[in-house]
Structure 1
């Protein structure tokens, strides 16, 4: 039977391939050569027929029910963000879907004013593609190579400079950012397609990370920044979605008295 790849079928296949029997409470039989789970194992865990699951993975059922998808999400150990993504794939992101409206990228004046008043907290505004739309002076000083309007945080992360700066933790950071990019971007957006093609062609690590189909709602995390004379400092950040837009306000802040807070305070004083 010929396969007709659909976004849902590709996602199911990718997530099945990264799970091991032990991950879902199944025994590993001697001599097992399958990469990931077998199709019939996923079907049994989701309590659907193996034949129907095969049809789904081969793209021959274009409208599986939400009930089936939720059962598969549970079988594949998907978290809330990944389950939402699976349901969204099934709801109709097609090549003919409406592309993102430029108005959805417009930064409200209230957010622009907030950036001007935040003098002691690095702050940037990014969109779902991780393009930097705006940044206050302290954010630009914190990471001059990436936190400038017009730059892209994902491209910056896959640069040689980021690899050197972050070191051993680089791959973990890159995987998390790619997972967030997959969740928050719009595959019908020309900018998304441009970034994806660029990274697939020009970066040796990106295709393997992208092929895992990881999804994550990266609302908070940490990144490393060099702030002299403190050296490399780990700084916490958090995303806040700007209501009515597909943009996010990102604030970098750590508790008072922490090394990161002291380094950022020093940086803020040095640029005044």
Structure 2
């Protein structure tokens, strides 16, 4: 294969290993030597030949039809995000890749907006780097500073993990969101560097990355245990930055009139005093 990556084959193999025969409606008899579904079972359920499916998985056929891909998505129980990712893998054609800059620049107007927002806010790049953060975001989480990386923070820093009671559950979503963010550019030098570092340092990241889960990162409630103001429940919103591909403005805000709103206001007052000194 001339050293080419086999993204499509790797993906469908990883996903078939996560589907149980029971989920697929296949009776189980005797001892099975493989996790999940066998190749021939996937082929049968998708309505394609076992030989053709094997060639797809091994990377010897890289031109499946959309109909075949959609059939595989159904058999592999993929949701909408994962199906879209599978279609990209199967329809994107090899292209000459160029090195992406290691540093992403945010639009000046967005930098000013982040600095003046009265809520914790930061800008995240396509590699989950923190490109800018306001003082209240840093007060909420000391790792939210320009130059940090959210994957490194969450998977490698015990202090950051202590802030988020649900960090282990959230970690799966982060890894799936990162795979969705980089798409088919898994041979991007920065992606290789980051995934390699995290895989060596964090067995949990390594296991999650091997699952090939894909999901678009969306806003969601977050629980935070802050050492100064205590337990917080904040809504995290993620807004795409226009004119800056792959960049996201992340803002935390409480529900009005809640205990969390009072605690965040207290943290904002403490932060303002620190900045004024």
- Asked if 1:215 is matched to 2:205, the reply is no
Point out the more displaced range, 223-232 or 248-257: 223-232
Q: 1:86 to 1:98 in 2, by over 3 A?
A: farther
Task: State the alpha-carbon separation in 2 of the partners of residues 5 and 139 from structure 1.
Answer: 39
Residue 17 (structure 1) aligns with: 17
Q: With CA pairs under 8 Å and 6+ residues apart, which has the higher RCO, 1 or 2?
A: 1
Supply the distance in 1 between the matched residues of 2:94 and 2:238 (Cα, whole angstroms).
28
**Are residues 29 and 163 of structure 1, via their aligned partners in 2, closer, same or farther at CA, if it must alter by over 3 Å?**
farther
Distance 1:165 1:269 in 2: 20
Q: Which residue of 1 aligns with 2:61?
A: 61
- Residue 181 of structure 2 corresponds to 184
1: distance between equivalents of 2:255 and 2:174? 24
Q: Distance in 2 between matches of 1:128 and 1:86?
A: 19
Mapped pair 1:135 → 2:133: yes
What is residue 239 of structure 1 aligned with on the other side?
238
Question: What is the aligned partner in structure 2 of residue 80 from structure 1?
Answer: 80
Aligned to 2:160: 162
SS in 2 for 1:195: helix
Once the two structures are TM-superposed, the CA of residue 33 in structure 1 deviates from its matched residue by 4.2
- Residue 15 and residue 44 in structure 1: after superposition, are their counterparts in 2 closer, same or farther (change >3 A)? same
In structure 1, the residue corresponding to 2:106 is in which secondary structure? coil
- Measured after TM superposition, the shift of residue 182 of structure 1 is 0.9
Aligned counterparts of 2:94 and 2:253: Cα–Cα separation in 1 = 39
Structure 1 runs not aligned, ≥5 long = none
29 and 220 in structure 1: CA distance in 2 versus 1, 3 angstrom threshold: farther
Q: TM-score, normalised by structure 1?
A: 0.88
Give the drift of 1:184: 0.2
Give unpaired runs (5+ residues) of structure 2: 273-277
What is the root-mean-square deviation of aligned Cα atoms in Å? 2.3
TM-score by length of 2: 0.86
Does structure 1 conserve the Cα–Cα contact (< 8 Å) formed by 2:16 and 2:76? yes
Per-residue deviation, 1:155: 0.2
